[in-house]
């Protein structure tokens, strides 16, 4: 009888121990499984985490933790999990911000350096000078933050447009491939947002193209002289030497002149005074040269009209067209002729626009 009772009590105790062991497993496994998953997102696991997981594993295997120990371990795991998730969140946020900053910087530089050309070959000019067909970058480009607000629709009627709105590409032609470049014998050019700045020792060269060989054209320049000139070239199609056609828009003293030479008529420059300008103020000069029918002779002649600040100052006729055979210059004499050092312009240019004209315009 005693042995039967003792056997019954042992059986009941064995069943209770088995139930406790079975119930404890899911409580211990669930939080540590979540922590391992969070750790793997960070790209590695925490040493403390491994210790906790290992400890938890021992508890589950030996089944010796009390109910209060299991609660403490579960609370500890949740705290560790929160710390890891917080660290993961901060790490991910920092990575996103860092990546965003790099992308913004890269995008800004890509926008500024519009890359009008990538030709690294050297091209010879007169006077031992040479140039490469690469972007003209302002010496102070990194100090400027400029928005290029040029609207192509505002350039109707022109074939070439130098707007000088990008400090990382000052020679860009906004309407085609007639980009301007800087030769190796002049100093670096600076800029302001929206204009190019000449200091009397630099300029841009424009290689000759079919566009500039037109027998009729319109030129418009917005400029600000900051120093009186002495044969100072603003925008010129000036050939080397004599016996070649050409034209020049110049500043002499505080007066704007337009020079023209048609060797079929004369082999010297015809110099025409356009008008006086004030220093440190903006002015606009517009030149039109186009074929028309003479009312007297009924033959084709070329009309020359020059306006300064909206007022026509020159209206005359030229008997024959001009043949342009050399590159052009902005702010200096890119043909390196005699008295070259005197032909530099000092001031700012907002834009230069050039277009081919049809008869009767």
DSSP secondary structure letters along 107-176: HHHHHH---S-EEEEEEE-GGG-EEEEE----TTGGG--------GGGGTT-SEEE----TT-TT--TTS
pLDDT value, residue 358: 66
pLDDT value, residue 89: 41
CA distance 39 to 13: 41
Helices 47-62 and 67-112 cross at an angle (nearest 10°) of: 150
CA distance 353 to 164: 11
- Percent of residues in the chain assigned helix, strand, coil, to nearest 5: 35, 30, 35
pLDDT value, residue 58: 41
Count the residues in the chain. 361
pLDDT value, residue 110: 38
Half-sphere exposure for 71 (CA within 13 Å, toward CB)? 3
Of residues 195, 205, 117, 130, the one with CA closest to residue 163: 195
**Is the separation of the CB atoms in 170 and 188 below 8 Å?**
no
pLDDT value, residue 104: 39
pLDDT value, residue 152: 92
What does DSSP say about strands 346-356 and 195-199: parallel, antiparallel, or unpaired? antiparallel
CA distance 358 to 287: 15
pLDDT value, residue 80: 41
Backbone φ/ψ region at 89: left (φ over 0), alpha (ψ -120 to 50), beta? alpha
- The per-residue pLDDT string of the chain (361 residues; one tens digit each, 9 = 90 and over) reads 334 433 443 444 344 334 344 333 433 333 333 333 333 333 333 334 333 333 333 433 444 343 444 444 444 444 344 433 344 444 444 443 333 333 433 334 434 444 445 567 999 998 899 999 999 999 999 999 999 989 999 999 999 999 999 999 999 999 999 999 999 999 999 999 999 999 999 999 999 999 999 989 999 999 999 999 999 999 999 998 888 999 999 999 999 999 999 888 888 899 999 999 999 999 999 999 999 888 888 888 899 999 999 999 999 988 888 899 999 999 999 999 989 999 999 999 999 999 998 644 4
In sequence order, what are the residues at sequence separation of 6 or more whose Cβ sits closer than 8 angstroms to the Cβ of residue 349?
A: 164, 195, 196, 198, 221, 222, 223, 224, 234, 330, 331
């Amino acid at each position: 009888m005693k042995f039967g009772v003792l056997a019954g009590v042992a059986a009941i105790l064995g069943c209770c121990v088995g139930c406790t062991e079975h119930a404890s497993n899911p409580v211990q496994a669930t939080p540590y499984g979540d922590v391992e998953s969070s750790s793997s997102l960070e790209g590695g696991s925490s040493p403390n985490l491994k210790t906790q997981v290992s400890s938890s594993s021992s508890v589950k295997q030996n089944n010796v933790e009390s109910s209060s120990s299991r609660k403490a371990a579960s609370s500890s795991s949740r705290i560790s999990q929160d710390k890891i998730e917080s660290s993961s969140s901060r790490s991910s946020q920092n990575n996103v911000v860092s990546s965003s900053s790099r992308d913004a910087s890269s995008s800004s530089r890509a926008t500024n350096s519009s890359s009008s050309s990538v030709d690294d070959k050297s091209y010879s000019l007169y006077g031992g000078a040479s140039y490469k067909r690469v972007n003209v970058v302002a010496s102070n480009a990194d100090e400027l933050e400029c928005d290029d607000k040029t609207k192509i629709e505002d350039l109707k009627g022109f074939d070439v447009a130098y707007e000088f709105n990008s400090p990382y590409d000052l020679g860009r032609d906004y309407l085609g491939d007639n980009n301007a470049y800087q030769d190796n014998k002049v100093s670096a050019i600076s800029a302001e947002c929206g204009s190019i700045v000449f200091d009397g020792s630099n300029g841009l060269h424009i290689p000759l193209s079919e566009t500039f060989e037109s027998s009729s054209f319109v030129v418009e320049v917005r400029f600000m002289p900051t120093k009186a000139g002495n044969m100072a070239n603003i925008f010129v199609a000036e050939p080397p030497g004599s016996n070649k056609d050409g034209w020049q828009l110049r500043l002499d003293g505080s007066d704007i002149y337009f020079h023209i030479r048609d060797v079929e008529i004369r082999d010297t420059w015809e110099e025409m005074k356009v008008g006086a300008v004030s220093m440190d103020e903006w002015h606009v000069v517009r030149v039109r040269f186009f074929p028309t029918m003479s009312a007297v002779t009924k033959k084709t002649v070329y009309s020359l009209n020059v306006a300064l600040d909206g007022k026509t100052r020159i209206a005359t006729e030229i008997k024959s067209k001009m043949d342009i055979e050399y590159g052009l210059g902005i702010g200096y004499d890119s043909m390196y002729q005699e008295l070259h050092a005197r032909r530099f312009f000092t001031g700012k240019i907002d834009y230069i626009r050039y277009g081919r004209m049809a008869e009767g315009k």
